[in-house]
A and B are shown apart, each in its own frame.
Chain A
Amino acid sequence: MLMKFVDDSKENVPKRSESLIVGIKGDDMHQAQVQIPTEEPPPLPENDRLKAIGKRATRWDGNLKVSGSGKYTADIRLPGMLYAQMVDATVPHAKVVSIDTTEAEKMPGVKAVHVVEHVLGNAQLRDPKQELPSKYPIVRYAGQPVAAVAAVSPQLARAAALKVKVKYAPLPFVVDRDDARKHDAPLVYPGPADQAGTAGGGGGPKNVPQVGNVHGPAEHKVGYIDEGFSDAAEVVEARYITQVQTHSALETHGVVADWKPDVLTVYASTQGTSTVRDELAYVFSLPKNKVRVITEYMGGGFGAKFGAGNFGVVATHLSKKAGAPVWLMLDRQQEHLSVGNRPDSDQSLKIGAKKDGTLSAIQLVSYGTAGCGTGAGCSGPAINMYKCPNVHTQEYDVFINGGPAASFRAPGHPQGCFALEQSIDELAEKLGMDPLDFRDKNDEFEPRRVERRIGRAKFGWDQRRKAGSDPGPVKRGMGVAQAVWYRIIHMDSAAEVRVHQDGSVELMSGVQDIGGGIKTVLAQVVAEEFGLTPKDISIRIGDTQYPSGPPSGGSCTTASITPAARNAAYQAKLAFLRSVAPALNVSSDDLVLQDGHVRSKSDSSKSWTFKRAAAKMRTSEIAARADRVPDYKNVGRRLNYGGVHFIEISVDTEMGHIHVERALAVQDCGRPMNPLHLESQINGGVLQGISYALYENRILDKQKGLMVNPNFDFYKVIGAQETPKIEIHVIENYLGLSSTDAGGIGEPSTMATAAAIANAFYNATGVRMRRTPMTPAAVLETLGKVRSVTA
């Protein structure tokens, strides 16, 4: 994750005192006095008093997307462009003896062949000498990139890839987390290994012990866990199992790489134009000013699209060799196998509370597999959700011969919430407390307290019945669970705003829109400053030629880039007013921009349309660039994100079928910038959460070590017919931290859903569902409806 917490106390910039709004609207919202940098624009009032920000502006590029005229990476066509196909390992663990590309190279129309020299994403041995030298990278999972060919058509490239002869010396393999923990399990790595992580995250703890395939523990200790349990009046202890989920973004990973002597241009489906540029510059020893990365439209990433990736490096090699642009998009099978996943988990969680309902101890031991990578830890919720004096967590990564994990929408947290939020419910019941009351007692985070209160009323929580109340085979139940996420700010966030003499305004930034709608939000921010409408502003983003943009990870995009955009707009506005004031015979201090007009504050008869005023500019263009300044000094708010999900389900206890009847997501994200887009993201979060809870599952076959469902036929993702009614309520939680005070929503909106479904399952049936996915098979087994089978 992009953990760049910023402490502004060291910044020695001139400050001024400002009064700004802080707190939750409808709860404790108030004015607070804060020192902010002198250059900063005046603080924004609450959303009700704004014209563009906080409004339901429709998607800036919506028409372009739905009409197909917005070009995604796969749509890029360049003159002379070639198509590439990867050659992937067909075995899960092997030394590559030889790679024969001669037959492929001889095929007419094949223009370049590349053999992979270094594999990105896998863990690396701490001591490479523990493995015998190998000419080619050791294959650690089936689907690992081995080579690639570029040809004049995709069909030819596929045919040529099949002609590349790879000879393997197979090694013993293990693809099951439990099997891999056994003392005699085949070793994925012959010694301790760590995953560096990609540009956008991933990777687990380094310098932890490793025994066999078991890497860890990474520990977190607060207080005295044994004392915590001896203080407890009630203790619950249980084991929870979650599955591996693949990112399954609609758009697969891919690039079009165009190597030219003067500049390498790469169109990439990425969450980080800058991180892809940096990685390619590093790999190809190019200065950063010779690499340009463009992401104009992007079809989802969920955390798996930060670096250049093996495919990006390979496509660049092929372009360099062939002297032509190379198109390389992964297919769905490659997408499932080789570009990341959410690790599974096997969590043993024990928590205890005193008689009065205060938590006294939380103890978590987790094992999870991130394939041949690390990063399966899932203790975030256990550590950060509740106030508890004694916490002890131990996280173990278990190596298997599977594709390496990548950061995935709140890494570790859906797993962690699934266990923690069920245990919290169970403990509440033991103490005879309502689950919401128990959380009120132990959760100090103000937004969640408000969210629980709102949700209780909106959802009709008090109509919730005793567990297992329905007599018939179909049983209904309600559940709740909550989320914790972190305020992450990326300081490499800059924007430039230009005003032209014809009255047109544009914003430029390297930031990319991965689907959340940052283009629209940026247009709203500039429009607010200029008194225009979002549609009046041209937004040019997703290009490293523009001012540096943040990688979109950790739900940081809106919080990081919008203050820079507002500050650039503000500076451009001041320059604009200074430029036109003389021609209008008004002092620039007396001018305001409102409703498409330039107006005199002192003389209401003096008003010009923005366009007419712009014509008076002394130069053809006025531009201002601004960088993200550090967050203002915190006025004492807790700087996390919350989110509480309420779910009602029905369980057909005879068929094992779970139907989600309705969901309510109550969320916070600082100042809501655009409720329409927030709702879209939260809808997506809830749906991805349901899909994780009920359907998705990567299945690796132990016989050959291959994934048996690398498609969307048997890797099951939620569809329209499984989509319940989703109600959304976003609170306004002003933190007073930046010129827009925006936060993030992507991650907090998905992590509690599976846990809420599990709690609803208990309320429906009176039985705990401690594993995902909750398929009919899992449900019937959990309900004791399946006779045991002796194989």
Chain B
Amino acid sequence: MNRFAFTNCDTLDQALSALTPGAELKAGGTDVLDRMKERISAPEKLVNIRNIQALRGIDESSTGLRIGPLMTLGEIAEHPAIQKNYTALANAAAHAATPQIRNMGTIGGNLVQRPRCWYFRSADYDCRRKGGETCYAQIGDNEYHAIFHNSICAIVHPSSTAVPLMALGGSLDVASSDGKRTIPLETFFLLPEQNWTRENILRPGEIITAINVPKPASTARSAYQKWAEREGTDWAIADAGVVLDMDGDTCRKAAIVVGAAAPAPLRMHEAEVMLAGKPITEETARAAGKAAMVKASPLTHNAYKIPMFEVAIYRTILLTAGKMGPDPSAVGGRA
């Protein structure tokens, strides 16, 4: 780990002025400290925003949810209103990482954490995302890597909460010393085709100040499930976030997002159109799962993810519609 300055901030303004070039934000610290220890990152200064009270809080109103970016994953998972009306988000927060990480890691940090690709995380690989020439996952050990948008850089986006937030139509308020703006999550994340060294469009000096989720229609339900090699603590190899707006038995509108399939959370439009205007049945749900994977382009060792995602989407659609229980094979599914 490099030597670095440490600036404690109590207000957003202090943080914005401290966030000079070469500095990096530290909230829960579960990602940035790890990167520094692994010598992937060497910021000259850490701007500690963990104690900024204004960046905490969960407000539920008639128009939606406003979450302070410093709320921990544990706090979000246990929040009754989120569990009730934004179920997919509560599910995703509840099954991310370990209890210890969930108690430290914040939702803001969860959205902007750097990828977990083992080539990216090793100082011995000067991979493309770190400014090098090569994506080592292309012909290397790519069993956990992307099956979409993977020809330039094959990371999968590591954030579980990004999946339901995108499916629920969430947006981010961000601030910098130049002003404020609001970014829909749908346009927040970057694919390698757009930029292969960054995962999102946050500019240097910008801080997330709120996560907004519009209130779902009273006829909408949502769910998120994640599958991994282990049943408890593990990274997703497949996941799905689903929001269904129902008109009786018929699906009025569906939003389906997957996370561990691509370098950014992806809307599965092909699957969504398969459901629109149709009843949710085993048959339509399976067809949606299949449709979602038609354009998948697996690498040498991750084609197994295609059948997994097909089933992940189908089972999560049925869970959302109340036609199947939580999947025992999913992470935390037996809890």
Interface set of A (CB-CB < 8 Å, partner B) = 90, 155, 158, 474, 652, 654-657, 659, 694-695, 699, 701-704, 706, 708-709, 713-714, 716, 718-722, 775-777, 780-781, 785-789, 791
Contacts and interface: CB of A to CB of B under 8 A. Distances in A.
A656 B308 contact: yes
A412 to B, nearest CB: 26
A775 B301 CA distance: 12
Contacts of B165: none
Contact of A713 (B116, B327, B329): B116
Contact of A722 (B136, B230, B302): B230
Nearest to A780: B304
B230 A719 contact: yes
A652 B306 contact: no
A11 B140 CA distance: 61
Interface in B103-153: 116, 118-119, 122, 124-125, 136, 139-141, 143-144
Contacts of B266: none
21 contacts: A158-B1, A655-B308, A656-B307, A694-B229, A702-B140, A703-B140, A706-B125, A708-B118, A708-B140, A709-B118, A714-B116, A716-B234, A721-B332, A721-B335, A775-B229, A776-B304, A786-B304, A787-B303, A789-B298, A789-B299, A791-B299
A695 B304 contact: no
A719 B307 CA distance: 26
B11 to A, nearest CB: 31
Contacts of B234: 716
Interface in B49-102: none
Nearest to A779: B304
Given A714-B116, A777-B302, 7 more contacts: A655-B227, A659-B334, A701-B119, A709-B118, A713-B235, A720-B232, A722-B232
Interface in B315-332: 327-329, 332
A704 B303 contact: no
Contacts of B301: 777
A694 B232 CA distance: 14
Contacts of A781: 304
B231 A780 contact: no
Contact of A777 (B124, B125, B143, B311): B143
A782 to B, nearest CB: 10
Interface in B203-245: 227, 229-235, 237-238
Contact of B124 (A655, A706, A714, A720): A706
Interface residues of B, number: 41
Contacts of B329: 474, 652, 655, 657, 659
B332 to A, nearest CB: 8
Given A721-B231, A722-B231, A788 B303 contact: yes
Nearest to A717: B230
Contacts of A90: 124
Contacts of B238: 655
Interface of B: 1, 116, 118-119, 122, 124-125, 136, 139-141, 143-144, 227, 229-235, 237-238, 298-304, 306-308, 311-312, 327-329, 332, 334-335
B227 A719 contact: no
Contacts of A788: 303
Q: DSSP class of B's interface residues: helix, strand, loop or mixed?
A: loop
* Closest 7 pairs (CB-CB, A-B): A721-B232, A657-B329, A777-B304, A708-B118, A652-B329, A654-B311, A789-B303
Contacts of A780: 304, 307-308
Given A708-B118, A780-B307, A786-B304, A791 B139 contact: yes
Most A Cβ at <10 Å: residue of B300, B301, B306, B329: B329
B334 to A, nearest CB: 8
Contacts of A656: 304, 307-308
A695 B230 contact: yes
A472 to B, nearest CB: 12
A719 B124 CA distance: 29
Contacts of A787: 303, 306
Contacts of A719: 230, 232-233
A776 B308 contact: yes
A781 to B, nearest CB: 6
A610 to B, nearest CB: 48
A645 B141 CA distance: 34
Contact of B307 (A654, A657, A695, A722): A654
A701 B306 contact: no
A721 B230 contact: yes
Contacts of B235: 713-714
A699 B119 CA distance: 12
A655 B229 CA distance: 10
A714 B125 contact: no
Nearest to B312: A655
A657 B311 CA distance: 12
A787 B302 CA distance: 10
Given A702-B140, A786-B303, A776 B237 contact: yes
A775 B329 CA distance: 13
A264 B319 CA distance: 65
A459 B118 CA distance: 42
Nearest to B125: A704
A90 B118 CA distance: 16
Nearest to B311: A654
B18 to A, nearest CB: 24
A720 B144 CA distance: 23
A701 B141 contact: yes
A703 B233 contact: no
Contacts of A655: 227, 238, 308, 311-312, 327, 329
Contacts of A785: 304, 307
B229 A716 contact: yes
B1 to A, nearest CB: 8
Most A Cβ at <10 Å: residue of B116, B143, B232, B304: B304
A716 B230 contact: yes
Given A652-B329, A789-B299, A706 B122 contact: yes
Contact of A776 (B140, B227, B327, B334): B227
A698 to B, nearest CB: 11
B156 to A, nearest CB: 13
B260 to A, nearest CB: 12
A332 B124 CA distance: 16
Contacts of B144: 714
Contacts of A699: 141
Most B Cβ at <10 Å: residue of A656, A708, A720, A786: A708
A786 B310 CA distance: 12
A577 B328 CA distance: 64
B312 to A, nearest CB: 8
A534 B144 CA distance: 51
Nearest to A789: B303
Contacts of B122: 706, 708
Most B Cβ at <10 Å: residue of A155, A474, A787, A788: A787
B232 A708 contact: no
A95 B258 CA distance: 47
A413 B328 CA distance: 33
B232 A776 contact: no
Nearest to A719: B232
A694 B144 CA distance: 16
Nearest to A91: B124
Contacts of B116: 713-714
Most A Cβ at <10 Å: residue of B141, B312, B332: B141
B307 A718 contact: no
